[in-house]
Structure 1
Amino acid sequence: MKYPLLFISLLAIGFVSCKKEKSDSGTEKPEEEFFVNEDPATFTEIGSIDIGDVGAAEISAFDPSTNRLFVVNNDETKGDVNRIDVLDFSDPKNMKLIHSISMQPYGGAVNSVAVFDGKLAAAIESTDKQANGKVAVFKTSDYTEIKKVDVGALPDMVTFSPDGKFILTANEGEPNTDFTNDPEGSISIIEVDNNYAVTTRNFASFASKEAELTAKGFRIFGPGVTNDFAKNIEPEYITISSDSKTAWVTLQENNGIAKINLTTKTITDIFPLGFKDYNTDGNEINVSDKDGGSMALAKWNVKGVYMPDGIALYESNGTPYLFTANEGDAREYDAFVEAERIGKLTLDPAAFPNAADLQTEAKLGRLNVTKTLGDANGDGRYEALYSFGARSFSVWNGNTGAQVFDSKNELDVKAIAANAYDDGRSDDKSVEPEGITVGKVGNKTVAFVGMERADAVAVYDITDPTKPSFLQFFKCGDAPEGVLFIPAKNSPTKKSLLVVSSENDGVVKVYTPNTI
């Protein structure tokens, strides 16, 4: 049988099909589904724009109704000019800056943006970082304000639920530099259809479980926090289920993930994430920036604290799988600094009989670890060592918190092979996986992992979420902060797009795969 040329073209590039869903009345109605046959291992750069310097391109959000890209811009070289830059994204190969929305009327730095159905939500910290922040909502068409509401202290991330009924913020609640004011970490749930009514929840109800949680690797630490569990929690990033009923939030400094019931607006669980063993096969790392430039990976008697930043969700066969970028982060303030190099610690001779040799700069001496773990009996001698982050991405069961996958040292391996590994960061957190997002590319479900210190993105096939497989590694701007996937159906090119915004050079880059 011979097929018309048009039909063959549609098969190669894309087509519109119909599946059935239930309408509000319970009857079935057709829903359009757009498909493009793409190769997820072939993402290449097609466009780039420079919108400033340090802090000038952090998080991005795309509005398909206007073909505009909204980019957080806190350019540190421009002073107090925090804003959201608006880019004409109708041609991603030739992006143009067309407008800026000033954040000065709303407070301090804008930390995050999200878009849904012609509405742009922005998370804005107060000029006093320990005071409550704001969420401002604007029309994407003319940038006029729809609503502004108060949320918790230091809203670090904002997102819409998939049905658009909720806006959520992760309110980090960082202390001031002398630790005299440490606001509660919290989650704010904003009901869009209820005049943007705000419910803010803290973590005080879990204080009675502190011992149980910390025994499994959760972290409650710092000056003056022993008896104030809620103030110690620092939410970072959010992902939400497709039915808009459940959310998960990374608690980065605490090494955990919280689960939230959006129907009841309650925090139902905290999942401690435990530790990673760098003394096992596949977990070998480079621990020194002063080892003669060697990038050799080896086993060391050190644990990693996962401490994820970005989180994304993929639901498969009824199970929610949480993908985390295990960046790591140390608390560093005038009144409290938790990081110390191993070379400056006193090691327990029973645990480290060859301590003098291990603590040389070419070995473990340069590696930064936390002083808050490893001295279980408080005698000033460390019988275990815990470094920041896990130099990996992980997959966790969203119902139980159990780990089902970790990329081990593969991100380091791929960065070294691509000549993108920064040996100057070996003593800290290596490639620093920070941002992560997932999306459907052709017939595959794919995860994109942004690495702040490798200035690169790794692409993985996660169609089987328990067995992600590496597809591709490519360079991007300096210190990628935001990784945004735009599905083909919403894209101005009608092909999948990945937008990477980098905070150290203010560059936004766009990538797309080949069609098959």
Structure 2
Amino acid sequence: MRPTRPARRGAVVVAALAVTAALPAALPAAAVVDEPVTLSAPGAAVGLSPIGTHETGVFDESAAEIVAFHARSQRVFTVNADAGAVDVLDVSDPTSPTKVAAFVAEGAVSGDGSVVPAGASANSLSVREDGLGVVAVQSPVKTDDGWLVFFDATATAPVPLGAVRVGALPDMVSLSADGRWAVVANEGEPAEDFSVDPEGSVGVVALPRTVAVPAQDAVRIADFHAFEAEGALPEGVRVFGPILDEERRVSTNLEPEYVTVSGATAYVSLQEANAIAVVDLPSATVTRLLPLGWKDHGADGAGLDPSDRDGRIDIRTVEGLRGLYMPDTVEAFTSRGTTYLVTANEGDAREWGDYVEGARVGALGRNGLPPVCVDSPLAGLTGNADLGRLNVTLEDGLRADGSCYENLYSFGARSFAIWTTDGELVFDSGDQLEQITAQAVPGAFNSTHSATNLEGRSDDKGPEPEGLTIGEVRGRTYAFVGFERVGGVVVYDVTVPSRASFVTYVNNRDFSVSVEDDGVASLGAAGDLGPEGLTFVPQHRSPSGSPLLVVGSEVSGTTTLFEVTSLTGPSVDRRPGGGTR
């Protein structure tokens, strides 16, 4: 793997950040907690505050995942995987989002003659400006081909207009800005017992100009067959683990995760492969695979807290430890005429059948696993208070003869990063995300999402940045990044990509409530748990007249609207009883 360049860090020194709200002490009565945790940089230009929430009351069943906003109908559409539906929320009053309908894909007739059956799952959705909505739906047998199901977002109670068949496990769908294309990441995960492993692919669908269903022949599949030939796969694109079909080893191994579209090009994250696929939409062709390399956790400003058993916050550098970027969400934006990609570097391991990619460092050298090399700087760090509890991949870092691990590679980089469209690193947040959450929630640093604890995720992926979106406020461009585990959203100014800087962090969570310990009845009091999908609503489309951020949280089953306020002048407090502040 090629190493990435050292991280260029923002101008804000994390130690200088100001805590503007501490952990709340009392139980709030609703999912918008009484005192959201807030940490801001001195002179922050924007603020973020939760103003309204819709609660499903369903805990840890993915009842609120991916979200989309439609300006004309003033609605938010939220994927409710637990119900196998899309919840339709009226947000004309963003302080009081109200469910008005539910869209169910079951029964939709596809252009290939198939019908979406009961048990099919909605995974993602997107809505075009004119109201054409599209939902990515996986088959009840996830290794079978799935569908894109279309609906009219402006209808009082949306029903399926029809569907087209796409690849196996359509996991995420995105629309081009001009509305011409729907692009779907067909993840193609294996069966749980690894008896079947379908190809991963990217579906490219030419859309009609009206709110209507495209024909089946409008679907074309961009595959990875061109990278099967010897030498065709770029070095650093991870293809590994058991292979059922050697002739299709690359195509079945690559699992597209997330899609962003810029012009006539789509960029698709290949999370486990630690790469991004570049897709030309007019020809529906994967033109390039961009390996993302690794972060050096031994470099200054790029450390981590690797142990959940040392009883303290200890963010430090570790020579010989590397983090594979493994992005989940990828978004494109333009700065001064140049397109950049932003990634949330979550990390993920492959575990299918009897195959398990990861192991704790403390397990190396036992049960047939190679040990850490005795001449590695990591050799003396295998105790639980050091690296012993950290999960690392078994597929990278081995000495050429396979006898021992010279370097160790953890899952994800605990950061967000900005790249050129050629895959060159422009900015990485280093260890800032852990530094920020350590200051904001010192008693629940690296907590899990379903329970409140200290360092529950330090041995894995830390705060676990997963979802992100990009928005513009008063001529500045901001990245909003959600933390799946400890929760909350961090905001960075990315107007000048190489000098991205921290602005604020807000967590609509009450850490005095631990749902696993206090019971599901405490769910509403806990606030937002496990943010998954984020979407930005610009000021000119917002029902409130202020920019909004919509966040779906899969563990708490909540969809929360945040007001993005400019701190350069007075703004209106739109909460009940609010005034000018």
> 1:512 aligned to 563, 576, 581, which one?
563
2:516 is the alignment partner of 1:494: no
2:373 is the alignment partner of 1:349: yes
Pairing of 1:197-208 with structure 2 (within 5 A): 197-208=218-229
2:63 is the alignment partner of 1:51: no
Q: Displacement of 1:300 after TM fit?
A: 4.1
Aligned counterparts of 1:83 and 1:431: Cα–Cα separation in 2? 29
- Runs of 4+ that moved beyond 4 A: 209-212
2:484 is the alignment partner of 1:452: yes
Q: Secondary structure at the match of 1:343?
A: helix
Render the CA deviation track for 1:153-204: whole Å, top value 9, x for unaligned. 0011011111111111001000012222110000001111263610012111
Render the CA deviation track for 1:217-251: whole Å, top value 9, x for unaligned. 2100111265511111100111111xx31110000
Contact 1:40 1:441 in 2 (8 A): no
RMSD: 1.7
What residue is the counterpart of 1:285 in the other structure? 304
What residue is the counterpart of 1:68 in the other structure? 75
Contact 2:274 2:325 in 1 (8 A): yes
What residue is the counterpart of 2:345 in the other structure? 326
What residue is the counterpart of 2:152 in the other structure? 139
Q: Secondary structure at the match of 2:242?
A: coil
What residue is the counterpart of 2:259 in the other structure? 238
Report which structure shows greater RCO (CA 8 Å, sep ≥6).
2
Structure with the bigger percentage of strand: 1
Q: Secondary structure at the match of 2:433?
A: helix
Contact 1:113 1:159 in 2 (8 A): yes
Q: Displacement of 1:210 after TM fit?
A: 5.2
Amino acid at match of 2:437: A
Pairing of 1:107-506 with structure 2 (within 5 A): 107=117, 108-116=120-128, 117-142=130-155, 143-193=158-208, 195=215, 197-208=218-229, 213=234, 215=235, 217-224=236-243, 227=247, 228-241=249-262, 244-346=263-365, 347-352=371-376, 355=379, 357-398=380-421, 400-419=422-441, 421-422=445-446, 423-476=455-508, 477-506=528-557
What residue is the counterpart of 2:27 in the other structure? none
Contact 1:284 1:300 in 2 (8 A): no
Contact 1:119 1:137 in 2 (8 A): yes
Amino acid at match of 1:114: S
Contact 1:61 1:70 in 2 (8 A): yes
Contact 1:283 1:299 in 2 (8 A): no
Q: Displacement of 1:466 after TM fit?
A: 1.8
Q: Displacement of 1:384 after TM fit?
A: 1.5
Contact 1:40 1:442 in 2 (8 A): no
Aligned counterparts of 1:183 and 1:277: Cα–Cα separation in 2? 34
Contact 2:319 2:377 in 1 (8 A): no
Contact 1:341 1:369 in 2 (8 A): yes
CA separation of 1:288 and 1:514: change in aligned 2, threshold 3 A: same
What residue is the counterpart of 1:99 in the other structure? 101
Q: Secondary structure at the match of 2:456?
A: helix
Aligned counterparts of 1:137 and 1:248: Cα–Cα separation in 2? 23
Q: Secondary structure at the match of 1:259?
A: strand
Gaps of 5+ in 2: 1-43, 108-115, 209-213, 366-370, 447-454, 509-527, 570-581
Render the CA deviation track for 1:291-322: whole Å, top value 9, x for unaligned. 12334434342110100000111112332100
Q: Displacement of 1:468 after TM fit?
A: 0.7
Contact 1:255 1:306 in 2 (8 A): yes
Aligned counterparts of 1:394 and 1:43: Cα–Cα separation in 2? 21
Q: Displacement of 1:377 after TM fit?
A: 2.5
Amino acid at match of 1:358: L
CA separation of 1:147 and 1:499: change in aligned 2, threshold 3 A: same
What residue is the counterpart of 1:32 in the other structure? none
**TM-score between the two structures when normalised by the length of structure 2:** 0.78
Aligned counterparts of 1:372 and 1:449: Cα–Cα separation in 2? 29
